[in-house]
Amino acid sequence: MSKVVRVDMTNKKVTVEALPEKYKGMGGRWLSSAMVNDEVPADCHPLGPNNKLVFAPGFLTGTRAPNSGRISVGGKSPLTGGIKESNAGTPFSQNLARMGYTALVVEGLPEDSKQWILKLDVNGGELLPADDLVGKGAYESGNMIWDKFGEKKAFVVNGPAGEAKMAMAGIAFNDPEGRAARYAGRGGLGAVLGSKGLKAIVLDDTDAPGVKPANEELLRSGQKKLADAILSHDVTKKGGGLNSYGTAVLINILNEAGGLPTRNFSSGEFDGASKISGEALAEAAEKRGGAGTMGHRCHPGCIINCSTVYPREDGTEHVSSVEYESIWSLGANLCVDNLDEVAEMVWLCNDLGIDTIEAGVMLGVAMEAGLAEFGDGPAAINLLKELYKGSPLGHILGQGAHFTGEAYGVTRVPTVKRQGMPAYEPRAVKGIGVTYATSTMGADHTAGYTIAPEIMSVGGSEDPLKTKGKVGLSKGLQDATAFLDAAGYCIFIAFPILDIPSGFEGVIDTANGMLGTDYTADDVGRIGDEILRIEREFNLKAGLGKEADRMPEFMKYEKLPPHNNVWDITDEELDSFWD
Amino acid sequence: MSKVVRVDMTNKKVTVEALPEKYKGMGGRWLSSAMVNDEVPADCHPLGPNNKLVFAPGFLTGTRAPNSGRISVGGKSPLTGGIKESNAGTPFSQNLARMGYTALVVEGLPEDSKQWILKLDVNGGELLPADDLVGKGAYESGNMIWDKFGEKKAFVVNGPAGEAKMAMAGIAFNDPEGRAARYAGRGGLGAVLGSKGLKAIVLDDTDAPGVKPANEELLRSGQKKLADAILSHDVTKKGGGLNSYGTAVLINILNEAGGLPTRNFSSGEFDGASKISGEALAEAAEKRGGAGTMGHRCHPGCIINCSTVYPREDGTEHVSSVEYESIWSLGANLCVDNLDEVAEMVWLCNDLGIDTIEAGVMLGVAMEAGLAEFGDGPAAINLLKELYKGSPLGHILGQGAHFTGEAYGVTRVPTVKRQGMPAYEPRAVKGIGVTYATSTMGADHTAGYTIAPEIMSVGGSEDPLKTKGKVGLSKGLQDATAFLDAAGYCIFIAFPILDIPSGFEGVIDTANGMLGTDYTADDVGRIGDEILRIEREFNLKAGLGKEADRMPEFMKYEKLPPHNNVWDITDEELDSFWD
> How far, in Å, CA of A551 to CA of A554, rounded?
8
* Contact criterion met (CB < 8 Å) for A552 and B408: no
Name the packing angle between helices A377-389 and A356-368 (round to 10°).
Answer: 110
Question: Strands A293-296 and B198-203: what pairing?
Answer: unpaired
pLDDT in tens, B514-527: 999 999 999 999 99
The mean predicted confidence, pLDDT, of chain A is 98
> How far, in Å, CA of A421 to CA of A400, rounded?
11
Taking the mean position of all CA atoms in its chain, how far away is CA B309?
19
Mean local confidence (pLDDT), A503-525: 98
Distance from CA of A563 to the nearest CA of B (A): 23
Contacts of B407 in chain A (CB under 8 A): 392, 395-396, 399, 403
Mean local confidence (pLDDT), B68-83: 98
pLDDT in tens, A384-402: 999 999 999 999 999 999 9
Residue that is last in its domain, among A424, A450, A466: A424
Looking at the predicted structure, is the pLDDT value of residue A328 above 80? Answer: yes
Distance from CA of A105 to the nearest CA of B (A): 21
Looking at the predicted structure, is the pLDDT value of residue A1 above 80? Answer: no
Position B18 confidence tier, pLDDT thresholds 50, 70, 90: very high
Q: B483: helix, coil or strand?
A: helix
Q: Which of A41, A43, A47 is opposite residue B409, by nearest beta carbon? A: A47
Domain count, chain A: 3
Residue A241 lies in a domain: no
Q: What letter represents residue A89's amino acid?
A: G
Contact B201, B145 (CB under 8 A): no
Residue B183: what pLDDT?
A: 98
Residues A471 and A553 in one domain: yes
Residues B199 and B223 in one domain: no
The domain in which residue B86 lies consists of 3-203
Distances (CA, A) of B526 to B72, B442, B475, B480, B523: 20, 22, 12, 9, 5
Residue A36: what pLDDT?
A: 98
Residue A240 lies in a domain: no
> How far, in Å, CA of B274 to CA of A84, rounded?
49
The conformation of residue B326, written as its DSSP 8-state character, comes to H
Mean local confidence (pLDDT), A73-90: 98
Contact B295, B335 (CB under 8 A): no
Residue B445: what pLDDT?
A: 97
Question: Strands B307-311 and B293-296: what pairing?
Answer: antiparallel
Mean local confidence (pLDDT), A256-270: 98
Nearby residues of A38 by Cβ (< 8 Å), 6 or more positions away = none
Q: Which of A194, A399, A543 is opposite residue B545, by nearest beta carbon? A: A543
* Contact criterion met (CB < 8 Å) for A557 and B49: yes
What 3 state SS string does A365-421 have?
Answer: HHHHCCCCCCCCHHHHHHHHHHHHHCCHHHHHHCCCHHHHHHHHCCCCCCEECCEEC
Distance from CA of B192 to the nearest CA of A (A): 10
* Contact criterion met (CB < 8 Å) for A165 and B409: yes
List residues of B whose CB lies inside 8 A of any A CB: 41-45, 47-50, 164-167, 191, 194-195, 391-393, 395-396, 399, 403, 406-409, 411, 540-545, 547-548, 550, 552-554, 557, 571
Residue B208 lies in a domain: no
Residues A260 and A286 in one domain: yes
For CA atoms B262, B267, B272, B274, the dihedral sign is positive
Q: Which CATH number goes with the domain that contains B136?
A: 3.60.9.10
Question: Strands A116-121 and A198-203: what pairing?
Answer: parallel
Contacts of A165 in chain B (CB under 8 A): 408-409
Contacts of B194 in chain A (CB under 8 A): 409
Residue A313 lies in a domain: yes
Residue ranges with strand state E in B244-328: 293-296, 307-311, 317-319
pLDDT in tens, B299-342: 999 999 999 999 999 999 999 999 999 999 999 999 999 999 99
Q: Identify the closest residue of chain B to A386 by CA–CA distance.
A: B392
Mutate to test the interface with A, among B50, B77, B165 (most CBs of A within 10 A): B165
Residues B562 and B538 in one domain: yes
Residue A51 lies in a domain: yes
Looking at the predicted structure, is the pLDDT value of residue A152 above 80? Answer: yes
Distance from CA of B47 to the nearest CA of A (A): 7
Contact B181, B415 (CB under 8 A): no
Host H or E run for residue A507? helix A501-515
The conformation of residue B243, written as its DSSP 8-state character, comes to H
Q: Identify the closest residue of chain B to A544 by CA–CA distance.
A: B543
> How far, in Å, CA of A457 to CA of B445, rounded?
58
Residue A432 lies in a domain: yes
CB pairs under 8 A between A and B: 97
Residues B383 and B252 in one domain: yes
Residue that is last in its domain, among A424, A449, A477: A424
* Contact criterion met (CB < 8 Å) for A396 and B395: yes
Q: Which of A49, A399, A547 is opposite residue B43, by nearest beta carbon? A: A547
Mutate to test the interface with B, among A51, A383, A396 (most CBs of B within 10 A): A396
Selection from B58, B27, B65, B59 nearest residue B225 by Cα: B65
Cβ atoms < 10 Å from Cβ of A557: 11
> How far, in Å, CA of A109 to CA of A124, rounded?
20
Distance from CA of B18 to the nearest CA of A (A): 30
Contact B426, B451 (CB under 8 A): no
Residue B376: what pLDDT?
A: 98
Residues B407 and B530 in one domain: no
Residue A514: what pLDDT?
A: 98
Position A136 confidence tier, pLDDT thresholds 50, 70, 90: very high
The mean predicted confidence, pLDDT, of chain B is 98
Share of chain B above pLDDT 70, in %: 100
Selection from A489, A453, A450, A424 nearest residue A61 by Cα: A489
Residue that is last in its domain, among B409, B425, B441: B425
> How far, in Å, CA of A119 to CA of A173, rounded?
14
Selection from B510, B509, B457 nearest residue B233 by Cα: B457
Q: Which of A42, A164, A392 is opposite residue B391, by nearest beta carbon? A: A392
Distance from CA of A412 to the nearest CA of B (A): 9
Contact B509, B225 (CB under 8 A): yes
Residue B363 lies in a domain: yes
Contact B441, B285 (CB under 8 A): no
Q: Which CATH number goes with the domain that contains A225?
A: 1.10.599.10
Q: What letter represents residue A63's amino acid?
A: T
> How far, in Å, CA of A354 to CA of A361, rounded?
12
Q: Which CATH number goes with the domain that contains B413?
A: 1.10.569.10
Q: Which of B194, B195, B411 is opposite residue A47, by nearest beta carbon? A: B411
Contacts of A571 in chain B (CB under 8 A): 43
Mean local confidence (pLDDT), B454-459: 97
Distance from CA of A486 to the nearest CA of B (A): 29
Nearby residues of A578 by Cβ (< 8 Å), 6 or more positions away = A438, A536, A546
Host H or E run for residue B117? strand B116-121
Q: Identify the closest residue of chain A to B553 by CA–CA distance.
A: A44
b/e per residue A230-241 (b: at least 16 CB within 10 A): bbebebbbeebb
Position A421 confidence tier, pLDDT thresholds 50, 70, 90: very high
Contact A131, A68 (CB under 8 A): no
Nearby residues of A522 by Cβ (< 8 Å), 6 or more positions away = none
Q: Which of A43, A50, A395 is opposite residue B396, by nearest beta carbon? A: A395
Residues A572 and A467 in one domain: yes
Residues A151 and A225 in one domain: no
Residue A313: what pLDDT?
A: 97
> How far, in Å, CA of B56 to CA of B88, rounded?
11
List residues of A whose CB lies inside 8 A of any B CB: 41-45, 47-50, 164-167, 191, 194-195, 391-393, 395-396, 399, 403, 406-409, 411, 540-545, 547-548, 550, 552-554, 557, 571
Q: Which of B49, B164, B553 is opposite residue A48, by nearest beta carbon? A: B553
Residues A279 and A186 in one domain: no
Q: What letter represents residue A238's amino acid?
A: K
> How far, in Å, CA of B207 to CA of B98, rounded?
9
Residue A7: what pLDDT?
A: 98
Residues B406 and B530 in one domain: no
Phi and psi angles of residue A357, each rounded to the nearest 5 degrees, phi first: -65, -55
Q: Identify the closest residue of chain B to A163 by CA–CA distance.
A: B409
Host H or E run for residue B106? strand B101-107
> How far, in Å, CA of A357 to CA of A359, rounded?
5
Phi and psi angles of residue B362, each rounded to the nearest 5 degrees, phi first: -60, -45
Residue A176: what pLDDT?
A: 97
> How far, in Å, CA of B348 to CA of B378, rounded?
12
Residue B579 lies in a domain: yes
Q: B180: helix, coil or strand?
A: strand
Position B149 confidence tier, pLDDT thresholds 50, 70, 90: very high
Mutate to test the interface with A, among B10, B40, B43 (most CBs of A within 10 A): B43
Q: Which of A43, A392, A409 is opposite residue B47, by nearest beta carbon? A: A409
Q: Which of B47, B391, B547 is opposite residue A411, by nearest beta carbon? A: B47
> How far, in Å, CA of B517 to CA of B571, rounded?
39
> How far, in Å, CA of A429 to CA of A256, rounded?
12
Q: What angle do CA A547, A551, A553 make, to 5 degrees?
A: 95
Distance from CA of B416 to the nearest CA of A (A): 12
ipTM: 0.97
Residue B501: what pLDDT?
A: 98
- When computed from its CA atoms, the radius of gyration of chain A, rounded to whole angstroms, is 22
Q: What angle do CA B32, B471, A539 make, to 5 degrees?
A: 75
pLDDT in tens, B97-114: 999 999 999 999 999 889
Residue A183: what pLDDT?
A: 98
Cβ atoms < 10 Å from Cβ of A460: 11
* Contact criterion met (CB < 8 Å) for B548 and A543: yes
Residue B85: what pLDDT?
A: 98
Strand order in the sheet with A293-296: A293-296, A307-311, A317-319
Residues A112 and A176 in one domain: yes
Q: What letter represents residue A126's amino acid?
A: E
> How far, in Å, CA of B420 to CA of B325, rounded?
12
Share of chain A above pLDDT 70, in %: 100
Residue B373: what pLDDT?
A: 98
Residues A273 and A388 in one domain: yes
